[in-house]
Amino acid sequence: MMNLRFSSAWNLNRLLYRVKVDEGFLPLLAADMERYIKEYGLSEKEAAALCSLDPARILDAGGHPLFARYVLRLKAQYASNIYWTQV
């Protein structure tokens, strides 16, 4: 069953939320992911999922389906995808 709660992985979802709504955060995260993993207090599993940039692993770590896909914005081949022109 798809997890539709934020609270199961609150710190991970806090970070993913910022990836979705804060355009200025993307380059900061890309430049120093370790810093934000510490700042947001991600668990080992959450950190590994984030570093993988794999939405499936993000979901598995408790990321909300509304946010998980947004890690793909950090992959060069998807950076200019038309989907990101809206929220």
Query: Which residues here bind another protein, judged by CB under 8 A?
Result: 2, 4-6, 13-14, 17, 20-21, 54-56, 58-59, 64-69, 72, 77-78, 81-87
Task: Count Cβ atoms below 10 Å from residue 40 Cβ, excluding itself.
Answer: 18
Q: How far is the CB of 10 from another protein (least distance, A)?
A: 9
Rank residues 31 and 82 by Cβ distance to another protein and give the closer one: 82
Rank residues 1 and 34 by Cβ distance to another protein and give the closer one: 1
Q: How far is the CB of 76 from another protein (least distance, A)?
A: 13
CA distance 29 to 5: 24
Sign of CA dihedral 47, 51, 6, 41: positive
Q: How far is the CB of 5 from another protein (least distance, A)?
A: 5
Largest CA distance in the chain: 34
Give DSSP secondary structure letters for 18-44. HHHH-TTHHHHHHH-HHHHHHHTT--H
Rank residues 34 and 86 by Cβ distance to another protein and give the closer one: 86
